[in-house]
Amino acid sequence: MTRIDAKFAELQAAGKKAFVAYVMAGDPDYDTSLEIVKGLPDAGVDVIELGLPFTDPMADGPTIQLAGQRALEGGMTLQKTLDLAAEFRKTDNTTPIVMMGYYNPIYSRGVDTFLTDAKAAGIDGLIVVDLPPEEDDELCIPAQAAGLNFIRLATPTTDDKRLPTVLQNTSGFVYYVSITGITGAGEAEATNVGPEVARIKSSTDLPVIVGFGINTPEKSAAIASVADGAVVGSAIVGQIGAGKPVSDVLAFVKTLADGAHSV
C-alpha cells in the first residue's frame, strides 16, 4: 500500500473528501518552493502534486507555463525536484507526493534510474500527461512494479469505449479533468462534473478526484460534493507568481482545503 492508498483509505474511513494542491517545484526559487511545500499539510492539503518543470508543457495554460519557466530559469532540474521531495520527507513521512509532468525529462534520465531515485526521494505516484495507455510498457508498468502509483487522466472526451483502456493500469486515484482545454481555462461546474464522476465510478473502485477550473473555496466545495475530492493548481500557482508571501499563499490554500473538507 502506497502513501496515496493509505491516505484515501483514511479519508474514506473518516467520511472526508480529499483536497489536492499542485505547485511547481522550484517556483519562484528552490528555497521558497520548499517552504511552501513543507507548509501545505498544515494548510489542509491531503495530497501534494509536485510539478516537474518542462520547457513544453502542452496541457498547461499560461499560469503554469510561466511557473515552469521561472523554475527553469532559476536552475530547477529533475534532480533538484527529487532533492526537494527528499528534503520534505525529512520532516513528513506520511503526506503523499505525486510528481506531475511530462515524459521527456524521465526518458532522458532513464526509466529504471528515475524510478529508483523517485522511490528513494519519497515520491508516491506519477502523472505523466503525454504517455497514453498504449505506451504503458514504457513507464506505467515499471512504475507500478517499483511501488509507485500511476495516475491517469480522464476527460470529458473519454467516452465509454475509451474509458476501460484509460482505467486498465491506473492506480492510486483517477484524475478527472473537468473541462476541455488547458489548465487555468474555464470553470468547473458541479452539474456537469457529477454525472461524469458517477460514470467513471461505475467502472472502478478507485477514488475520482477532479481538477482544472477550480479556483475558489466555494468551487472547491461544490466539486468535492460530487467527487471524492478536488485539485487546485493554477489558482495557487497564480498567488506564487504574483509574489505573495509564503504565509499568504498557504492561507489561501487553507481556504480551498476548508472548502473541500466542508462537504
User: What is the pLDDT at residue 166?
Assistant: 97
Q: How many Å apart are CA 87 and CA 192, to the nearest integer?
A: 40
Decide if 247 contacts 36 (C-beta within 8 A): no
Position 143 scores a pLDDT of 98
Question: pTM for this one?
Answer: 0.96
The grid cell for 64 is 503554469
Instruction: Give the pLDDT of residue 190.
Output: 87
Q: 60, 117, 196, 228: which is the annotated catalytic residue?
A: 60
Q: Which residues contact 126 (CB under 8 A, 6 or more apart)?
A: 98, 99, 100, 118, 139, 143, 148, 149, 150, 151
The predicted structure's pLDDT at residue 171: 98
For residue 172, the model assigns a pLDDT of 98
* Distances in whole angstroms, Cα of residue 83 to Cα of each of 2, 76, 97, 132: 20, 10, 13, 28
pLDDT at 55: 94
| Model pLDDT, residue 194 | 95
Residue 218 known to be catalytic: no
Residue holding cell 484524475? 175
- Supply the pLDDT for residue 184: 60
- Quote the CA–CA distance of 33 and 192 in Å, as a whole number: 34
> 3-261: what CATH class?
alpha beta
Please tell me which residue in 5, 27, 46, 49 is annotated as part of the active site.
49
Question: Helix, strand or coil for residue 41?
Answer: helix
Cα distance between residue 23 and residue 51, in whole Å:
6
49 is catalytic: yes
Q: Which residues of the chain have pLDDT under 70?
A: 181-186
Instruction: Reduce the DSSP state of residue 10 to 3 states and report it.
Output: helix
